[in-house]
Amino acid sequence: MLALRQCGLGWLALSVAWPVYAEDPAVWGEGLMVKVRPDDTAPGSSTEVRLTAARNEFVSFQVALHGGDLGLRGVRARLPGLVGPSTLTGPDVTLYRQEYLTILQASEPGQPLGRWPDGLVPDTDEIAREPRNAFPFDVPAHEARAVWVDVHVPASAPPGEYTGTVTVEAEGGFQRQVTARLTVVDAVMPSTASLASSFPLLPTQVCRAHLGRNDCTPAELQPLLVRYQQLSLEHRLTQPKLYLTRPGPQGWSEFDATWGPSLDGTAPTRLSGARMTSVEYAGPVTAGGLEAFTGHMRERGWLERAHAKIGDEPFDAPSFQQVQATGALVRQAAPGLRTLLTVNSLQLKRNAMESLVDIAVPLVNHLEGTTPDFLGDQSPTYADFLSRPGTELWMYQSCSSHGCAPESHMPENQPGSGWPSYMVDRPSAKARAMQWLAFLFGASGELYYETGALLPTAWTDQYHFGGNGDGTLFYAGTPELIGGKTDVPVASLRLKLIRQGMQDYEWLKAVSDAGDPAFARQVARELIPNAWQVPDDGALFDAARLRLIQRYGELTTGNPAAPRMGGEPVSMPLEPQVPGGPGQPGGEGNVNGCGAAPGVSVAGVLPWAAWALGRSRRARGRRPPHGVSGS
């Protein structure tokens, strides 16, 4: 450092050497809406995260680490449980090490290349309950890493305040702690998603990813597919394509034994009673096959959730003629089986398809787009179609959100637009938006074309249709890659974000059902002004969700006639006493800058949500307010 000393009429320059201190490693609490990348250079400082959830809801947060100048070796993390009126522990608490996908070509211009977090290697997996190799891991000097934490609140958990401590340890005696404070409100989220979904997985990809070949036998493949279905249900999604292992009565008997639990709600999921919300005909398009499928679905009581997909994105006269022929065959051979088609209202009318389609699934870009045909909310253009009994409006997003590969016929996204997106290298908020838009447009379901398109290469490469992760939401958890003895599916970070969006939909629906649909729509529209203007700031989603929880409490507390989420009575405390609340230690001016804890009271949640909203508008930064999870 250079100092100046006055000498007579002049100045004498003196060189002074200040000591240089090494930057210490850092550990801090982070919300679920931040993607912690290795080159993040600004460690956080929060030692606390705050969470709010219904019973039977999942909440997530992160514990982030920065290696400082020396790095960390042998990092382990543990969270024994959250203690309150009861203890949340065991299968209801899962820690994951975040794996990174190296992005060599951005999904959308302007996004940074390099390593992005996505694969979540569990400490103990959710399906086989086997220890895996999430820990230990190293944090190199000058790099960041993160641990993802899932907490499931059992439906039987008493409402109230719960606290748990995540302890992070590394070689050399390093130890830091992050405290999680969870407010459980007295409402029960349904195990079966209110928003139907169709997120298929191709058995051939599972075969290649887990067994390294293309010719797996049913005995090898079926257990793997069941595990993927179970993990999907725990993320409130459905894989609709279920395959017969052989024709005839024996085949249907095996079908029922394999898939009956997932369709009837008896599968061993943490969301007790969770059922598939759709089942798609997956056999050859023949009169006999359609008839047998429909008859069996009717016999087992599954027909109302079944459909036949009669086409996929038809775009010219010949493809619509083929769709019409398939639709006519289904109508003739399988009365009562609904038909599904990815199509918009203009195409329905121009090609005289209204009578042959029961579930219309337009692209989100066509429900509120930027081109002349789709400007403004297009949901009213489906009114005539929906007036026929048994019809539904679903929606989907595709590579149109980031710009499709040149060989695709899909319309390109306009540069700079903010469409929903399930790509790895897009902000977390983009993957949480579709379900909010489904509520706004009155859609009753969401379709995604594939969840394992690049499953065999997912750990190293997911570039597909111009994007990273297009059609791939799972990773293959083989023992060689994640440890343990049993092959299991591994969730992506994006799958967790989609689950959060599905849970947001439940809060939107709960407020609407309880008597204030206008408020629910207002919150959703303030969050997402247009389908192509999804904000990047995850704190805005967090604040919007808390406003919904607050309004639900206002509508249901002391009102026995109000419909309840999950059909359970509600008795929400007016002033939750949480450390960090008004007048409590760590209250206003605490290190988290959060003021009152985000509880569930009229006096508590709404002011906190307003604070979070205001701060997020000021900051517009990479990280939501420290100490805030939004879960």
- Residue 126 maps to which CATH number? 2.60.40.10
- 147 with 260, same domain: the answer is no
CA distance 400 to 182: 38
CA distance 516 to 499: 24
- 241 with 383, same domain: the answer is yes
pTM for the model: 0.88
Of the residues 188, 223, 249, the one at which a domain ends: 188
CA distance 520 to 190: 19
pLDDT at res. 10: 40
Domain hosting residue 345, numbered range: 196-510
Evaluate if residue 401 carries a pLDDT over 60.
yes
- 157 with 226, same domain: the answer is no
Spatial contact of 452 and 495, defined as CB atoms under 8 Å apart: no
The answer to the question of residue 151 being in a domain is: yes
CATH number, domain of 484, equals 3.20.20
pLDDT band for 592, please (50, 70, 90 cuts).
very low
In our burial notation (b when 16+ CB lie closer than 10 A, e otherwise), range 140-176 reads eeebbbbbbbbbbbbbebebbbbebbbebbbeeebeb
Spatial contact of 221 and 236, defined as CB atoms under 8 Å apart: no
Of the residues 188, 217, 249, the one at which a domain ends: 188
In the chain, the number of structural domains is 2
- 269 with 292, same domain: the answer is yes
Evaluate if residue 586 carries a pLDDT over 80.
no
Tell me the pLDDT tens digit for each residue of 337-367: 999 999 999 999 999 999 999 999 999 999 9
CA distance 129 to 142: 34
pLDDT band for 216, please (50, 70, 90 cuts).
very high
CA distance 91 to 108: 38
Q: Which amino acid is at 411?
A: P
Helix-strand-coil percent breakdown of the chain, rounded to 5?
30, 25, 45
Q: Which residue has the higher pLDDT, 181 or 620?
A: 181
Dihedrals phi, psi of 14, to nearest 5 degrees: -120, 135
In our burial notation (b when 16+ CB lie closer than 10 A, e otherwise), range 13-31 reads eeeeeeeeeeeebbbbbbb
- 178 with 283, same domain: the answer is no
Per the prediction, the chain carries an average pLDDT of: 87
Taking the CA of residue 326 as centre, how many other CA atoms within 13 Å lie in the half-sphere pointing to its CB? 21
Tell me the pLDDT tens digit for each residue of 428-445: 999 999 999 999 999 999
pLDDT band for 371, please (50, 70, 90 cuts).
confident
Spatial contact of 447 and 396, defined as CB atoms under 8 Å apart: yes
In 269-342, DSSP assigns E strands to 279-280, 306-311, 338-341
Tell me the pLDDT tens digit for each residue of 54-77: 999 999 999 999 999 999 999 999
- 203 with 184, same domain: the answer is no
Q: Which amino acid is at 474?
A: F
Instruction: Round the CA-based radius of gyration of the chain to a whole number and report it.
Output: 26
Helix (H) or strand (E) holding 137: strand 137-139
pLDDT band for 468, please (50, 70, 90 cuts).
very high
pLDDT band for 406, please (50, 70, 90 cuts).
low
Q: Which of 147, 143, 35, 113 is nearest to 468 (CA)?
A: 113
Lowest mean pLDDT among 74-88, 126-140, 410-424, 489-503: 410-424
- 419 with 400, same domain: the answer is yes
Helix (H) or strand (E) holding 77: strand 72-78
From the CB of residue 250, how many other CB atoms can be counted at a distance below 10 Å? 11
The answer to the question of residue 174 being in a domain is: yes
Tell me the pLDDT tens digit for each residue of 14-61: 344 444 345 899 999 999 999 999 999 878 889 999 999 999 999 999
- 425 with 473, same domain: the answer is yes
- 359 with 493, same domain: the answer is yes
The answer to the question of residue 142 being in a domain is: yes
From the CB of residue 177, how many other CB atoms can be counted at a distance below 10 Å? 14
Of the residues 162, 188, 214, the one at which a domain ends: 188
Q: Tokens 């059909």, residue?
A: 567
Spatial contact of 410 and 456, defined as CB atoms under 8 Å apart: no
CA distance 88 to 81: 5
* DSSP structure class, residue 604: T
pLDDT at res. 563: 85
* DSSP structure class, residue 411: P
pLDDT band for 559, please (50, 70, 90 cuts).
confident
Helix (H) or strand (E) holding 439: helix 434-441
- 446 with 477, same domain: the answer is yes
CA distance 255 to 263: 11
- 393 with 409, same domain: the answer is yes
The answer to the question of residue 243 being in a domain is: yes
Spatial contact of 139 and 76, defined as CB atoms under 8 Å apart: no
The dihedral over CA atoms of 502, 278, 398, 426, expressed in degrees to the nearest 10, equals 30
- 220 with 360, same domain: the answer is yes
